[in-house]
Amino acid sequence: MHLMTLFARLFSWALVVMLMTGSVSVAHAQRTEPPQPDEQNVVAFERLGTTDQTLSGVFDGTRYLFNIPANWQLEAGAQVQLDLSVFFPAGSAQRRLGGFLEARFNRMLIGTLELTQAGDQRVIFDIPDRALTPVRSDGRHEFEVTLDNPTGCDVAPGDRTAVIIRSTSRFILPHTLAPLDTDLRNLPRPIFQGSFDPDRATIIIPDTPSISDLQAALTVAASFGRLTEGRLQIDLTTMQQLSPQTRTGSHLILVGSHKGLAPLARNLDLPAALQENGFATPGATPDDGILQMIVSPWNSKRVVLVVSGASEAAVVKAARALSAVPVRINNRPNVAVVRDLPEAPADLTLAIDQRLSDLGLEPRVIRDRTGTFDLRFTLPPGQQIDEGAYFDLTFNHAATVDFGQSSLSVGLNGIPIGSVRFSDETTRVTTSRITIPPSAARSGANVLTIQTNLAPRSLCTDIRNVDLWATIWPESALHLPMKPVTAAPRRSFNLSSYPLPFTLDPSLATTAFVVPQRAPAAWNAAALLAFQMGRQTRDAILKPLAVFADNVPANVRESYHLLVIGRPSTLPVLVELGNVLPAPFDAGNDVPRSVDTPVVYHVPPDASVAYLQMVAAPWNPERVVVAALGSDDAGIEQATIMLIDPRQRARLTGTLAIVDPQQRVTLGNGRAVLTGSAPTPVATATPVAVQLAQPTLQTAQPTPSPARNASSGNSWLVPVVIIVAVIGTSALILWRAPWRRPPGT
């Protein structure tokens, strides 16, 4: 009888193991050292931008998402080689029952590893050929590692198994190289692939570009900023300055008229060949924009995109079309003729009440522990949200979630506006009303974001076997009463607010880049700033303007926010601004004649210095002028970095910043710029002390010592009390120690 009971228990345990691993045919991890793979097939986890990942507790996991290069075709023999560090608690029970790891590639179980050995180790999982096809809608590959340690429920949290997946782990991905796809409908691919290899593109313009060529180039930069969410490395140069290294190593985007691009384009085997009067596209007119893409003749892993036309209007039209992807083609997938761009109708209206079903949305089920759902709507020009706006959110969720730790929140344009607490009632379809503050909405494109946080009821719950979900139903409805915009609201900006106010218009149609002629460094800086602006926009066709600094028309000054870039001596518009600037410049001078800062330092004439300034436009109080200036090309680059890098920009808490080569920042006295219906110059607060990155002695006067308060005089008591407490506690422990007590006590 005992023998039969023993066999029954062994059979039950084997059955449980089979069910947990999914199939008896699942491969287990190999611990033998594999042969050295071809380095071209090795992709270390570090290249995915990941660091060491720690799994601990009862059930835990981590996931790696990645794209492969667009010209890779995976072959048989793929592997995952995990470098692990396994930690068991001091006792032996967890060593015997340390749990196991499961590995899944593209959601297919590829192996298990029983955790019986502590320390560092490399384990190998073979990836079956059928698992090499991505199953995600975004086309990315997915690798998931989960820790399953059910015995950890019976021990304290500090006594559970822990596994560190080192960033030195790697994928072995045998592959062949295929020709790049040049279908324009797939843009931004292959220029941006989002793989572990960094994507880099260079915009190339004629050596002496027209202002339309520059405007088109900045529009292209902004478009790729939007299309890639700012994840593309981009720069701008001229044909003469194009280096052999850049020509070979980067994707090339040629922007300009057909004549301006001729020195380079005539050597390319373009599907629409370059001719004397334009590109050979049957039926095209001189004002039609031309887009075409080919594999680069200098590197088969790169492409050349041509954005051009036979007239200045055609070049700008082709550039704007890139912000309206997918690009529409005719007979050939790598050529597009842009005849016209749709304009938003002047009488665009938005229904006051509309359900999500009216917008074509179906029930949306969110199953990730943290998931998001974006709803986009557009407010007509000249209209703003009135009081009484709300969003009726109709939803329900699984009853298996922890009501106290799970929630649903709603935000508008990145600003939280409401949340819902889960309960038994909300497991049934219910509606919760979220008030929409008028100030959270804006004219043009708006994004309403619904975010869920789903937590299981118990730490010991295996979420792989428990369906956690929340459903957003199309019966949800927006109520958006509107009223005409009577006057521009008064707003407060400083340099840390950038890219506001430029990105308040999602098409950048109120942004004008003011640059010098014959200044490639300033043009490149403008492209980088346009790229980052585009990253902040959505939906609308991009229409930034560009003007040369020696010819800024009156209508541009009145109607646009100005972003002035370059060396002050090459920007006549700065002289016109005069003392409106906190650091004004004289004509032909790269050093300001005065600065509105608490302390004025002597700056050597040959020093590389960056100047950032923001003022309300003297021509229109509803517009702003931002100047990114440098005493030389390096200074222009530094000013650009300060605006682009969020960590650097956060230091710019005023309307004037002076940055030296060591990135020491001196701030001006002006704290904010006010815009609105009433003309308002730069608002200057009472001068306050500003903490610099590296403090410099400002005057010869001795620095007063801080005032002593009542408590600081008794600060010597603190260490004395701590020492007495430690001695007393040690004496008590020694007195109570068992070896000091006689037997039987």
Q: Which candidate, 186, 96, 225, 213, places its Cα nearest to that of 149?
A: 96
| 405 and 377 within one domain | yes
Query: Residue 473 domain-assigned?
Result: yes
Confidence bin at 36 (pLDDT 50/70/90) = low
Confidence of residue 679 (pLDDT cuts 50, 70, 90): very low
> What whole-number distance in Å separates Cα of residue 743 and Cα of residue 215?
94
Q: Point out the domain boundary residue: 653, 684, 715.
A: 684
What is the CATH number for 217?
A: 3.30.379.10
Strand, coil or helix: what is 186? helix
Phi-psi region of 229 (alpha: psi -120 to 50; beta: other; left: phi over 0): left
Residues 270 and 387 in one domain: no
The reply to whether 5 falls in a domain is no
Largest separation between any pair of C-alpha atoms in the chain: 111
Regarding whether 363 and 307 lie in a shared domain, the answer is no
Indicate whether 193 belongs to any domain: yes
The pLDDT score that the predictor gives to residue 373 is 81
Q: Which residue has the higher pLDDT, 658 or 687?
A: 658
Statement to judge: residues 270 and 365 lie in one domain:
no
Percentage of the chain lying above the pLDDT 70 cut: 77
524 part of a folded domain:
yes
| 726, pLDDT greater than 80 | no
- Residue 725 is assigned to a structural domain of this protein: no
Distance between CA atoms of 327 and 320, rounded to whole angstroms?
Answer: 11
At residue 706, does pLDDT exceed 90? no
Q: Are 203 and 143 found together in one domain?
A: no
69/197 Cα distance (integer angstroms): 7
- For residues 584 and 667, state if they share a domain: yes
What is the sign of the dihedral through the CA atoms of 213, 214, 219 and 222?
Answer: positive
Task: Determine contact, residues 493/624, Cβ cutoff 8 Å.
Answer: yes
Q: For residues 233 and 102, state if they share a domain.
A: no
Same domain, residue pair 291 and 313: yes
Distance CA 474, CA 472 (A): 7
Closest CA to 82 of 162, 149, 164: 164
pLDDT, mean of residues 65-72: 94
pLDDT of residue 671 exceeding 70, the answer is no
Question: How many structural domains are present in the chain?
Answer: 4
Task: Provide the edge-to-edge strand list for the sheet that holds 200-205.
Answer: 233-238, 200-205, 251-255, 303-309, 289-295, 335-338
Q: Report how far apart, in Å, the C-alpha atoms of 309 and of each of 261, 272, 316, 318 are.
A: 10, 11, 9, 7
Reply yes or no on whether the pLDDT at 274 is more than 70.
yes
Q: Out of 74-83, 202-211, 272-281, which region has the weakest mean confidence (pLDDT)?
A: 272-281
Looking at the structure, tell me whether residues 628 and 680 fall in a common domain.
Answer: yes
Q: Is the pLDDT of residue 659 over 50?
A: yes
Predicted confidence at residue 39, as pLDDT, reads 86
402 pLDDT exceeds 50? yes
Lowest mean pLDDT among 535-539, 561-565, 679-683: 679-683
Average pLDDT over residues 555-580: 94
Which residue segment(s) compose the domain that 190 sits in? 184-338
User: What CATH number does the domain containing 32 carry?
Assistant: 2.60.120.260
628 shares a domain with 498: yes
The Cα–Cα gap between 512 and 642 comes to 20
Q: Kindly give, in sequence order, each residue whose CB lies less than 8 Å from that of residue 565, ignoring residues fewer than 6 positions away.
A: 513, 514, 515, 522, 525, 526, 529, 627, 628, 629, 636, 640
Q: Residue 610 domain-assigned?
A: yes
> Are 285 and 362 in the same domain?
no
Q: How far apart are CA 557 and CA 580, in angstroms?
A: 15
Q: Domain boundary at 177, 207, 239, which?
A: 177
Q: Which helix H or strand E contains 527, and what residues bound it?
A: helix 520-535
Regarding whether 190 and 153 lie in a shared domain, the answer is no
pLDDT of residue 29: 60
Query: Rounded to whole angstroms, how far apart are CA atoms 506 and 375?
Result: 16
For 145, the 3-state DSSP assignment is: strand
